[in-house]
Amino acid sequence: MVFASISFVFVFLPIFLLAYAAVGSRWRNATLLVFSWVFYAWWRPGFLPLIVSIALWSWCTGLWIERVPERQKRWALLAGIAWPLVALVWFKYANLLHDTARSIGVPLGAWQAVILPIGLSFFVFGAISYSVDVYSGTVAAEPNFVNYATYQSMFGHLVAGPVVRYEWVAERLQRRAFHAAEFAAGAERFMLGFAQKILLADTLAPLVTSGYQLTSPSAADAALTVLAYALQLYFDFCAYSGMAIGLGLMVGLRFPENFDAPYLAGSLSEFWRRWHISLSGWLRDYLYIPLGGSRQSLPRSCMNLLITMALGGLWHGASWTFMVWGLWHGAGLAAERLWRARGGAKLPFWAGHAAMLLFVMAGWLLFRAETWTQVSTLLAALGGKHGWQVSSAFAAVSRPNQAACLLIGIALVYLPAAWSRWERGRAYGEALLRYLAVPLWLVALCVLQGRTVVPFLYFQF
């Protein structure tokens, strides 16, 4: 079950809200937890014990970390993160390691492919951040398992983020009251995210799939395919994050914003401060800084960037293309740092912005590709191997509504910049979105009737 589906909007969510409103404040977390587990089990009940065991393990070891003598805390921390990491490595990377070993000639017996549970990466990152924060004294260990499991399992962010840290929601897990204005704001965020997913991201999805399946794409085919994917991925994941934030507000929990107009950035480092903000912050605080961050020598700090981004890329998916994508961005960030350290001149915004877009979209080519053959095909196409104009094969699979979505998507990317130039632009823009939330949601519901439900892209990560 996904948020952008009839079953969620008209069955699960209304039943949950009625049950949540009917219980007293003492039982709100328990109600939210039970419905979250039902939501997860709806996909595949057999994996529910896995996430429950990770939550129970992290909760117990969190109490242990807090109470153990100082000299033993590190061992308690290692124990706390061990089971979540083992689960992540097995379910996410066992197939990759097996296939890689076989490809280099290692004799292996019969293999039953391991199924990846949805949302496991986000769930594990939440568990690790909690253990580390308890270890460092940033937060106190949660004494109530229901409260902790609610933080871990809340269906709003369970399967595709944002990566929520316990300290961000700890106070409201203990006590929160219903606020009509907050509920209304949450409903608006949910409806706008719903419309964004259905009307933009899902409309572009078939165009992207068709473009990657072409055997002899032209340069224009490849460029339009990568552009369409850049917009699809952004509007898909931004929509999910907005819906998750909205669902959180509806039950009195505040999740962090996950996107801040990333395609308007003027450099690659600024892009990563604006894109998937919760993950970027997690990688910085729990991986890059512990590796030494930028406190060490320039070569070492650049190496820390490469390691962090490579592991971040591999976190996104069990494929070496994801790791290369991470290394691509790590190399770009390291190059920026070297340029600044050597006294390189700051580029004009338009030049930095153009360079950032070209670099990021080149990376998206790797990110979306399922095989190295697709990568080489599209790279050759961009070099003009099969001509420069739109091919008849690509034109045959394109639809007018997809071309319209490309134009609308580009306009929406640059709209925040236009609003910011007007003194009251932001206020008028927010007011306009409030008025459009319900109409756009209704249009999206109508469009959804004629489509199959498209899972969110980050479900696979």
Q: Mind telling me the catalytic residues?
A: 316
What's the CA gap between 224 and 205, in Å, rounded? 13
What's the CA gap between 141 and 151, in Å, rounded? 13
Between the two ends of the chain, the Cα-to-Cα distance in Å is: 17
What's the CA gap between 300 and 294, in Å, rounded? 8
Q: Is the bond preceding 162 in cis, omega lying within 30 degrees of 0? A: yes
Cα four-point dihedral sign 195, 200, 205, 210 = positive
Asked if residue 409 lies in contact with residue 200, where contact means CB atoms within 8 angstroms, the answer is yes
What's the CA gap between 198 and 303, in Å, rounded? 40
Count of other CB atoms within 10 angstroms of residue 291: 16
**Cα 219 to chain center, whole Å?**
29
Asked if residue 360 lies in contact with residue 267, where contact means CB atoms within 8 angstroms, the answer is no
| Residue 292: both structure tokens together | 């030494």
What's the CA gap between 35 and 12, in Å, rounded? 9
